[in-house]
Structure 1
Amino acid sequence: MDLVPKPDQVVTAASNVAHKVLYGGLADLRPMPRTLIDEGTLREVYHYRPSGKVKEQGDPVLLVTPLAAPALCYDLRRGCSLVEHLVTLGRPTYLVEYGQVSFRDRALGMEHWIDEVVPTAIREVSEHAGGRPVHVVGWSLGGIFAMLTAADSPDLPIASLTVVGSPVDVKQVPLVAPLRPLLNLTAGRGMITRTYQALGGAPRPLVRWAFQLSSFQKLVTKPVAVATHLDDTEFLAQLEAVDRFTANMIAYPGRTFGQLYHRFIKGNALVTGSMELGDRTISLADISVPVLVFGGATDGIAPAPAVKSVVPLLTGAPEVRFEIVPGGHLGMLTGRRARTSTWQVLDEWVAQWSSPAEGVPTPTARKKAASATKTAARKTAATKASAPKKAPAAKKTASKKAAPKKAASKKAAAKKAAPKKGASPEAIGANPRRRYGSGGSRALSK
């Protein structure tokens, strides 16, 4: 809102305030309808039901949630929901979440998610979708779980892997880097270790506080931001949805939190590309499926350099691509700008690595098809308008004779105009004029 608001801004602001007071908010927080298809210990696999008359087709997508964060990260609100976007396209969409973590789960370690939860979810989704390979998408710690699972179980039916905001090099995380030398002074017997052992993990209030601390500047300036955006309905609705997301944080199991704290935060275990888990070593170089990596331009929890560090470690993947997209840690996944950046690239990537005959068009392809249909309709209308009502028999005979020649010339022209295989300017990374200004957003292909 301007310093001196215009009349229409005042009216909109008053309407927004009234709507919030009378109805409790502006955001459409209805969840996308879904059905439980599999469950186990801290494992719930859901299938999102098709939207309206849209028919599901193509290879399925499995969304892997991180620990402590609710599944709302993928279904934040209507209009800013990755789930809604995929379902509307007709893509079979699934999600694995973990339910509420309690004190009785304190003995569960990372092995539970990498050996049981994520692999089982992938197999169940593939079976439910008719045996098709699965496109696995993981955000934050969900991306790390997905990578470790794919590296440890190469026999899983995975079509591609997408990692969104998953930091591999913790030294490049500003919130953690200054504290690491101090944390290592305690030799594993510091206050943090004693606290999570006594509590059986990281409780919900602590997790919520940590997430808010990561965006402390936004938290402090929030009242001012609200006051200056009272006329921006979309801004206020997004703020409401993020507040609900933060309020629904989930606790960490004790042993898992200990592993993440000691191995990732203190030890920076994944920076070399491998880590010890149980009785084995898991190496990211063993990932044998295509990998798409997203970094957020303003992500404070997982800055783009910390995420990009995984690219040179994925030496076994047939293709690795890195994209910098607008937004912070949550915004890059489900913010307002994600609709025209992250989601569009993800659509193209999934289409590129899907079964050849699946027939699920991307939004870009749909727009092109619609445009081509309109152009053809205009040409047909123009031809009908210019054509004479009745043509002499001689002219009809001549046109029949000329038809084969015209058809042959059209076929020859089509052959000349046909693009070479692999040279599509719409392919991710093939177009030097990226949608995003940063040079780092261009894909890195091997």
Structure 2
Amino acid sequence: MVGLNSKSVLGPLRRVVATAQNGLEVVRLGGLETDLTTSPFEIVERAPMYRLRRYFPDTDPGETGPPIVLVPPMMMSAGVYDVTRDQGAVGILHEMGLDPWVVDFGEPDAQDGGWGRNLADHIIALSEIVDHVHRHTGKDVHLSGYSQGGMFAYQAAAYRQSRNIASLITFGSPVDTLAALPFGIPAGIATWGADFLADHVFNRLAVTGWMARTGFQLLDPVKTLKSRVDFLLQLHDREALLPREQQRRFLATEGWVGWSGPAVAELLKQFVVHNRMMSGGFVIKDQAVTLASITCPVLAFVGEVDDIGQPQAVRGITQAAPRADVYESTLRAGHFGLVVGSVAANHTWPTTGEFVQWIEQGGTRPARVERMPQGPYPEDETGVSMSNRIIHTVASVAEVGVGVTKGISDLASGALRGTFELSGEAARALPRLARLNQIQPHTKISLSALLAEQRRKAPAGECFLFDNRVHTYEAVNIRIDNVVRGLISVGVRPAAHVGILMETRPSALAAIAALSRLGAVAVMLPPGGDIATAVKLGNVDRIITDPENVQEVLAAGRPVLVLGGGDARGLSVDSAHDVIDLEQIDPTTVSLPGWYRPDPGIARELAFIIFAESGGRLEAKQITNYRWALSAFGTASAADLDRGDTVYCLAPLHHSSSLLATIGGAMAGGSRIALSRGLDPARFVEEIHRYGVTVVSYTWSMMRQILDEDLLLLDGTHPVRLFIGSGMPPGLWKRTTEAFDPAQILEFYASTEGDVILANVAGSKIGCKGRPLPGSARVRLAAYDPLSGRILENEDGFVRECADDEVGLLLGRAGFNADLSGGAMRGLFEAGDSWIPTENLFRRDSDGDYWLVDHKNTVISTLRGPVFTAPIVDALSSVSRVDLAVAYAVGEAPFQLAVAAVTCLPGRNFRAAELAETLDHLDFDARPDIVHVVDEIAVGSSFRPNPAVLAAAGLPAPGPRTWYLDSETQSYKRLTKAVAAQLMPTRMGTGSR
């Protein structure tokens, strides 16, 4: 009995003593002393940004295997790969015959300028390390990284375009950061929070090591609590604790280093707010980079219960890097368990070694390596499955007796996500619309003023991209001011009309903005046309051009100012001509005159003159500052543009779509502008990925040339979400949305007279122009006789408004800022009202959406009445075999014939049966008299199909590719010579059917 009592007392007593002894050791030394060792290494390269470790340096160079470079996250020490020799990454990989190297970014506070490091510094450093290892070993490098270190590896490989990189291996490294955020955080809340932190916190504050440790422990408080409780409960049992002591000490105290504020801010901006690892267009040292440049094999380790690098976010690499062969290896592990601990020792590192050997030697793919499934993934997939999350978390909670369950808020967070995103769109749109409503005739507003406003908000913000270079608002502002000084030095003053004829390039944008900053008028001369006529219509007194167009503008007989062209300018002009090279003027020597005030433009003043062809004649269209602002803010609202967007200016700058919608909308939305040198399919595909283009501008048939090419990288891998522009034919609309699924089309109609802007925001009615944008002019359709050109009145003398589906002239209500001197009409619908007529005829359907039916000057006058061209073109272009379609008149009014011409897609032939089917929905009197297939339809500089050449050729020749409308059968038949003779229109009306 006494022995039993002694045993029952001594056991707990020994436990208390052991606990006290071990606890004292932990307090004094930070942990328990172990006999475990780490692997040997030497520092082979030192630089301000890093130390490069080569492990097992005594290994004979001739016996080393493939080099693998391991990159730690920015907040974790390099020791993460060598917690213990027997279970650490470098030890296991060395035993498998690999040559392990580890990057040590060190403690920022221990390095000169360490707290000022930015994200690009890390990527450039990593690129240098790849070069160094390649030189040292003579072999291509297997580049790998954990968590953010894997993100670095992806970015460096993209920056180098995979040069000297044998493969990429990442562990829990997110790519599509917004697809599956930690713990189901809604994307809208995350981007808002990251944006705020980047702009207002990390631009002033760095993250110390203890802050990083605490933050990551709070990301999984249950696991942190469990590990601490486990440690305390086993503190008496030294043998049980020793195997995991190195890992515990590393994660609890030793493994964490600080983050520099600029690097964190840039990471949040580029890869959370804008998600540019996914879309492309992230910036490294003023260079636009995309993961689509990665061509080497990729292996991504996916933790099934990783709530930080969630599976769906990690698997975004398949879409972001479509040229790479992407593999994955999945394991039931959390974020830390991917690289540290027994699971990593048994799965992660052996599989990594096997993958490297497979890449080097070929043979059978490792058993635990699978092809990564292609995205995109269903929206209800959060990455970590609900079952995995609940099982993993409940098990952890149960072990420490905490009766809570993580992950039950997914349904609520999903609803919150949708609500937040909708409110986010409203939060962006409402201030823009309110600002429009506040603009009065005397309000200061202009292109240059809006650009200066964005520069004040974010001087280092990215304004535009061109030739793979990123130009900040600050740099662009300096360039504009320098051009302004040059213009002042040669006598340009406010209100002067200055022509611009330039290729799409930064200098052209600088010239436009400089004229706006001066308060002068930019007259956008169309290339390849009648420049002399445009100069006369625009009242141009001098012309700004680039070296490529000097000879063309000299014929206009005006002084020429040459700007831009880069190093290879090749400017050679006869001294007899009045040509001044603005690039030779030193802006520092120009004194600003007393009259100069930057950005003096007010809403009612003329800002631009653009040109359009009507009936074969060139017409000048005047654009006020208010009209430009209306398009800018309207586009930004309709397209929901923000700082996360990159808008691709594919259309030429002289076109209204570029100047008003693309450039204007991007500036109003704070979006980046990507300028392209021109329409080239290969360049298009490369640049939309490299720049991370989310919105593409177009005009008319522009996208046709892109789609006609055999393009790669478009099968769901592109970043484009929206196309914006005007005039896209219905058939091309369908082809574009199919090729660029899930991107949508936002079709605009913007009158050059008045302030009418229509937009098909929903995109559900292909070919429709939509409804008036908020802030634009109120519209009405006036009853109109297209043959006489008269507006029709009712018995009261007021203009009759059209009923649904009746064709009429589109009118815009004249607002405060309207120029009433250019054909405004008063007293139309009520006494004293003012309306500005457009030049276009529309119909309004029963839903209130507007459809363009014709320009008032191109209506065809036939014996049976007016025939409108747009419905014919829309019907024919919707045929799957048709490439382009036009409709035009042959003969003299009122005996004109309505003729339609089509071209076919390569390898496709147009059939008469399709012709009858597609035109059946048009009334008989609205159909073309003749339809013929032609080899080519001319396209103008704005990519608008032009029937002028075909119309000048007269009646199409009879043959197997020409059909006429038979009035008796109301069907189309092949045109013969006999029928053609009967159809020939004459002034005397003797032509018959």
1:68 aligns with 2:68: no
Q: Which consecutive residues of structure 1, in runs of 5 or more, have no partner in the other structure?
A: 1-7, 357-421, 431-437, 441-446
Range 12-21 or range 139-148, more displaced: 12-21
Maintained 8 Å contact 2:126/2:156: yes
**Of 84, 91, 95, which aligns to 2:91?**
84
1:123 aligns with 2:123: no
* Residues 243 and 266 of structure 1: CA distance in aligned 2, closer, same or farther (over 3 Å): farther
Q: Structure 2: which amino acid aligns with 1:160?
A: S
Q: Counterpart in 1 of 2:718?
A: none
Range 266-275 or range 120-129, more displaced: 266-275
1:334 aligns with 2:340: yes
Distance in 1, matches of 2:178 and 2:151, equals 16
Distance in 2, matches of 1:35 and 1:76, equals 17
Q: Counterpart in 2 of 1:258?
A: 265
Maintained 8 Å contact 2:181/2:187: no
1:107 aligns with 2:116: yes
**Cα-to-partner distance string for 1:398-425 (whole Å, 9 max, x where unaligned):** xxxxxxxxxxxxxxxxxxxxxxxx5678
**Cα-to-partner distance string for 1:364-391 (whole Å, 9 max, x where unaligned):** xxxxxxxxxxxxxxxxxxxxxxxxxxxx
Aligned residue runs from structure 1 range 364-403, under 5 A: none
* Residues 187 and 205 of structure 1: CA distance in aligned 2, closer, same or farther (over 3 Å): closer
Structure 2 length normalisation: TM-score? Answer: 0.33
Distance in 2, matches of 1:300 and 1:219, equals 14
1:158 aligns with 2:161: no
Q: Structure 2: which amino acid aligns with 1:264?
A: F
**Cα-to-partner distance string for 1:182-233 (whole Å, 9 max, x where unaligned):** 4655794x4664332223x222222121111122112223343235556594
**Of 239, 252, 275, which aligns to 1:268?**
275
Distance in 1, matches of 2:61 and 2:125, equals 30
Q: Counterpart in 2 of 1:385?
A: none
How far residue 165 of structure 1 moved from its aligned partner, in angstroms, is: 0.8
Distance in 2, matches of 1:12 and 1:274, equals 61
Q: Counterpart in 2 of 1:322?
A: 328
Q: Structure 1: which amino acid aligns with 2:43?
A: L
Distance in 2, matches of 1:125 and 1:244, equals 28
Distance in 1, matches of 2:226 and 2:66, equals 43
1:197 aligns with 2:203: yes
How far residue 271 of structure 1 moved from its aligned partner, in angstroms, is: 2.9
Maintained 8 Å contact 1:176/1:265: no
Aligned residue runs from structure 1 range 427-442, under 5 A: 428-429=369-370
Distance in 1, matches of 2:253 and 2:162, equals 38
**Of 306, 309, 317, which aligns to 1:310?**
317
Maintained 8 Å contact 1:296/1:303: yes
How far residue 57 of structure 1 moved from its aligned partner, in angstroms, is: 2.5
Aligned residue runs from structure 1 range 157-196, under 5 A: 157-175=164-182, 178=185, 180-182=187-189, 184-185=191-192, 188=195, 190=196, 193-196=199-202
Distance in 1, matches of 2:179 and 2:168, equals 23
1:347 aligns with 2:353: yes
1:213 aligns with 2:218: yes
* Residues 122 and 13 of structure 1: CA distance in aligned 2, closer, same or farther (over 3 Å): farther
How far residue 320 of structure 1 moved from its aligned partner, in angstroms, is: 1.2
How far residue 96 of structure 1 moved from its aligned partner, in angstroms, is: 1.1
How far residue 25 of structure 1 moved from its aligned partner, in angstroms, is: 1.3
Q: Structure 2: which amino acid aligns with 1:49?
A: F
Maintained 8 Å contact 2:162/2:294: no
* Residues 11 and 161 of structure 1: CA distance in aligned 2, closer, same or farther (over 3 Å): farther
Aligned residue runs from structure 1 range 280-295, under 5 A: 280-295=287-302
Distance in 2, matches of 1:197 and 1:17, equals 46
Structure 1 length normalisation: TM-score? Answer: 0.69
Maintained 8 Å contact 2:159/2:289: yes
Distance in 2, matches of 1:229 and 1:187, equals 40
Distance in 1, matches of 2:59 and 2:119, equals 39
Maintained 8 Å contact 1:74/1:333: yes
Classify the secondary structure of the residue corresponding to 1:32: coil
Distance in 2, matches of 1:208 and 1:353, equals 36
Distance in 2, matches of 1:106 and 1:228, equals 40
**Of 226, 229, 233, which aligns to 2:231?**
226
Maintained 8 Å contact 1:50/1:56: no
Maintained 8 Å contact 1:70/1:245: no
**Of 250, 253, 259, which aligns to 1:244?**
250
Q: Give the count of matched residue pairs.
A: 356
- Structure with higher strand content: 2
- Structure with higher helix content: 1
Q: Counterpart in 2 of 1:43?
A: 50
**Cα-to-partner distance string for 1:275-300 (whole Å, 9 max, x where unaligned):** 34443321112111111011112222
Classify the secondary structure of the residue corresponding to 2:178: helix
Classify the secondary structure of the residue corresponding to 1:334: coil
Distance in 2, matches of 1:12 and 1:352, equals 51
Maintained 8 Å contact 1:163/1:293: yes
Range 164-173 or range 239-248, more displaced: 239-248
Maintained 8 Å contact 1:293/1:323: yes
Maintained 8 Å contact 1:43/1:117: yes
Maintained 8 Å contact 2:191/2:272: no
Range 323-332 or range 238-247, more displaced: 238-247
Classify the secondary structure of the residue corresponding to 1:252: coil
Distance in 1, matches of 2:308 and 2:175, equals 12
How far residue 36 of structure 1 moved from its aligned partner, in angstroms, is: 0.9
Distance in 2, matches of 1:51 and 1:107, equals 36
Aligned residue runs from structure 1 range 4-43, under 5 A: 24-25=31-32, 27-28=34-35, 30-43=37-50
* Residues 13 and 287 of structure 1: CA distance in aligned 2, closer, same or farther (over 3 Å): farther
Distance in 2, matches of 1:13 and 1:172, equals 50
**Cα-to-partner distance string for 1:243-299 (whole Å, 9 max, x where unaligned):** 334423111122111111222233333233553444332111211111101111222
Distance in 2, matches of 1:295 and 1:49, equals 29
* Residues 256 and 91 of structure 1: CA distance in aligned 2, closer, same or farther (over 3 Å): same
Maintained 8 Å contact 1:50/1:90: no
Distance in 2, matches of 1:59 and 1:320, equals 20
Maintained 8 Å contact 1:27/1:241: no
**Cα-to-partner distance string for 1:16-54 (whole Å, 9 max, x where unaligned):** 986676695164553311111111121111111258999
* Residues 156 and 224 of structure 1: CA distance in aligned 2, closer, same or farther (over 3 Å): same
Classify the secondary structure of the residue corresponding to 1:47: strand
Classify the secondary structure of the residue corresponding to 2:263: helix
Distance in 2, matches of 1:183 and 1:429, equals 32
Maintained 8 Å contact 2:70/2:101: yes
* Residues 245 and 151 of structure 1: CA distance in aligned 2, closer, same or farther (over 3 Å): same
Maintained 8 Å contact 1:285/1:316: yes
Q: CA RMSD in A?
A: 3.6
* Residues 246 and 269 of structure 1: CA distance in aligned 2, closer, same or farther (over 3 Å): farther
* Residues 303 and 47 of structure 1: CA distance in aligned 2, closer, same or farther (over 3 Å): same
* Residues 183 and 303 of structure 1: CA distance in aligned 2, closer, same or farther (over 3 Å): closer
* Residues 182 and 174 of structure 1: CA distance in aligned 2, closer, same or farther (over 3 Å): closer
**Cα-to-partner distance string for 1:102-129 (whole Å, 9 max, x where unaligned):** 3833433221122x21111111112222
Larger relative contact order (CA 8 Å, sep ≥ 6) = 1
